[in-house]
Structure 1
Amino acid sequence: MEFNRDCLKIDARAECIRLEELIKKQIMGKLKRGGAVVGISGGIDSSVVAALCVRALGKDRVLGLIMPENDSSPDSQRLAEELARGLGIDYIVEDITPALDGFGCYRRRDEAIKRLVPEFGPDYKAKITIASKPLESDSINFFKLIVEAPDGSIISKRMPLNEYLQIVAASNFKQRTRMAMLYYHAERLNRAVVGTGNKDEHELGFFVKYGDGGADLKPISHLYKVQVCQLARFLKLPENITGRAPTTDTYSAEVTQTDFFFGVDFEILDLIWYGLNDSIPSDEVARALDLTAEQVDRVYKDIKQKQRTTEYLRLLPLEPEA
């Protein structure tokens, strides 16, 4: 098939029906559980998964869990609650801030930030961004700390490895706390935890091991982000969710998933990735997307690097050889 911008278009109706049947079979049959628990964030992935579970199991067998914390955008909770009411499912709001305080999440993170920006305090906001933009240049991957001061000024620092690792490790308490909360409610209700990660997140490593990567089933992990968006449109999810830019909702200063990790917008990234997976020459992909072959080659290289460096996230625990 000739490579073009429509390569990732799918029959959204047929795929929804297939996934609904699979969800019901896996939860009721394989896992022998009575329903689903889904963490809903106000984003498109969790909204699609929640809607699929309702169609598969019925609204009375689906619980939505909303888990804000100190750094969460208020929009996330508002949109998640609107989604739950629209789907007709029960939902519970669990503020995980006290648990994160107990783990020292914010304190450990701020310790590392203050080593780079000593004046950082409660009224400041911070985020991490990735410096490399494969479509723009062939630069080395590194991360920057962006701090927003109370007066609106911006401080940008290239992150040394130790500070980067500590900030990420501390922030990952958030996803792991949410995973524990999901399993609490799943176990008390004899239900399954349904994961909401898509192909981009799973295969390129944009998830936390034993955090948002922890689930009993992952029904959309085979779908590119742009394909999840197609399901969302078929399911007629609210436009304020489908049109919202994907964010990490992890740092006090808002940052998109593109700026934090992927480096390329999904509409282009997914098509280039499809070309890579199908061994399509970079010049052919470039012609279809109005890019240069050099740009496509740089994205190919970046995808391979992300897959290689995050492979350990996808590995099962290692065991002694028989």
Structure 2
Amino acid sequence: MRKDFNRDMECKNIISWIREYFKNQPGAKGAVIGISGGKDSTVTAKLLVEALGKERVFGVLMPNGEQKDIEDSLRVVNILGINYKIVNIEKAYNGLIEGIEENTLSIDAKINIPPRLRMTTLYAIGASMNYRVCGTGNKSEAFVGYTTKWGDGAFDFNPIGNLTTDEVVAIGDFLGLPYELVYKTPSDGLSGKSDEEKMGISYEQINEYIENGSCGDKEVDDKIRLKHEYSEHKRSLPPKYEGV
């Protein structure tokens, strides 16, 4: 965590930033957000409620078939008192897999389809309601490219995009959210592994590298650096020909 990180001030600043964003969005009536039941979407949804009021925040739960921890998602929307909708993406996912032909797809390609279907769902609902799509990805994930391009990496605005995982947790504590939601082991809900198991590095190591340029282990530093370099395309706008 940044040495000068003040969770009280940061929380107030983010809430002010959200309000300012909507002041500059003529016609935008509110925010639509995907609710996974993890810390990122839980903390972000709470920040939206604080900034806009619960009447202007709409949650979308998007299981792909059975979601074992969907009760956590339902708990979030009930705690916050926001309106919500459950959209099961299983039929769309299976239809797309069948249409492309499953045996031609890599494991990672299949893992990335649900986040992109969820992005499509959020934008469809957002367009219908005149709501802006809120992102829920944190700085630590983005730094090493642990995001899906045009999936969870697509949004209109993102209140926690410059916060590391430990800073998101600190904000969640400050906002008084349930411990078990804020400290829930992060996972993609797709691979059957935790984030850290899938990446082969810990968020603590990533955060140390971001803040100090090293996590104290050269081998891990090299792995983080390479992940950051290889995933630059996910953090940048696509290039376009500008003419000569």
Normalised TM-score (structure 1): 0.71
Give the C-alpha shift of residue 299 in structure 1.
Answer: 2.3
* Matching of residues 1-322 of structure 1 within 5 Å: 7-8=2-3, 10-30=5-25, 32-70=27-65, 73-75=67-69, 77-104=70-97, 111=103, 166-251=106-191, 254-261=192-199, 263-276=200-213, 286=216, 295=217, 297-322=218-243
- Misfit runs of 4+, over 6 Å: none
Match of 2:106, SS state, is helix
> Structure 1's 168 and 105: CA in aligned 2 closer, same or farther, altered over 3 A?
farther
Residues 35 and 61, structure 1, Cα contact 8 Å, conserved in 2: yes
Give the C-alpha shift of residue 259 in structure 1.
Answer: 0.8
Deviation digits for residues 275-304 of structure 1 (CA, Å, limit 9, x no counterpart): 10xxxxx5xx64xxxxxxxx2x22221121
- Using the alignment, how far apart are the partners of 1:65 and 1:266 within structure 2? 27
Q: C-alpha root-mean-square deviation of aligned residues, in Å?
A: 2.0
Give the C-alpha shift of residue 209 in structure 1.
Answer: 1.0
Residues 229 and 242, structure 1, Cα contact 8 Å, conserved in 2: yes
- Using the alignment, how far apart are the partners of 2:100 and 2:241 within structure 1? 38
Give the C-alpha shift of residue 30 in structure 1.
Answer: 3.7
Unpaired stretches in structure 1, ≥5 consecutive residues: 1-5, 113-164, 277-281, 287-294
Task: Give the number of equivalent residue pairs.
Answer: 243
Match of 2:115, SS state, is helix
Give the C-alpha shift of residue 73 in structure 1.
Answer: 3.6
> Structure 1's 271 and 265: CA in aligned 2 closer, same or farther, altered over 3 A?
same
Unpaired stretches in structure 2, ≥5 consecutive residues: none
Give the C-alpha shift of residue 247 in structure 1.
Answer: 0.7
- Using the alignment, how far apart are the partners of 2:2 and 2:73 within structure 1? 31
Larger CA Rg, structure 1 vs 2: 1
Q: Which amino acid aligns with 1:258?
A: E
Q: Percent identity?
A: 32
Give the C-alpha shift of residue 89 in structure 1.
Answer: 0.4
Deviation digits for residues 164-185 of structure 1 (CA, Å, limit 9, x no counterpart): x711112211011000100111
Give the C-alpha shift of residue 265 in structure 1.
Answer: 2.3
Give the C-alpha shift of residue 55 in structure 1.
Answer: 0.3
- Using the alignment, how far apart are the partners of 2:26 and 2:146 within structure 1? 26
Deviation digits for residues 172-212 of structure 1 (CA, Å, limit 9, x no counterpart): 11011000100111111101000000001222111111111
- Using the alignment, how far apart are the partners of 1:53 and 1:180 within structure 2? 21
Residues 105 and 170, structure 1, Cα contact 8 Å, conserved in 2: no
Q: Which amino acid aligns with 1:269?
A: I
- Using the alignment, how far apart are the partners of 2:26 and 2:235 within structure 1? 21
Q: Which amino acid aligns with 2:64?
A: E
Deviation digits for residues 98-124 of structure 1 (CA, Å, limit 9, x no counterpart): 110110179855x37xxxxxxxxxxxx
Residues 12 and 231, structure 1, Cα contact 8 Å, conserved in 2: yes
Match of 2:24, SS state, is helix
Match of 1:104, SS state, is helix
- Using the alignment, how far apart are the partners of 2:27 and 2:175 within structure 1? 27
Q: Which amino acid aligns with 1:256?
A: S
Residues 111 and 190, structure 2, Cα contact 8 Å, conserved in 1: yes
Normalised TM-score (structure 2): 0.92
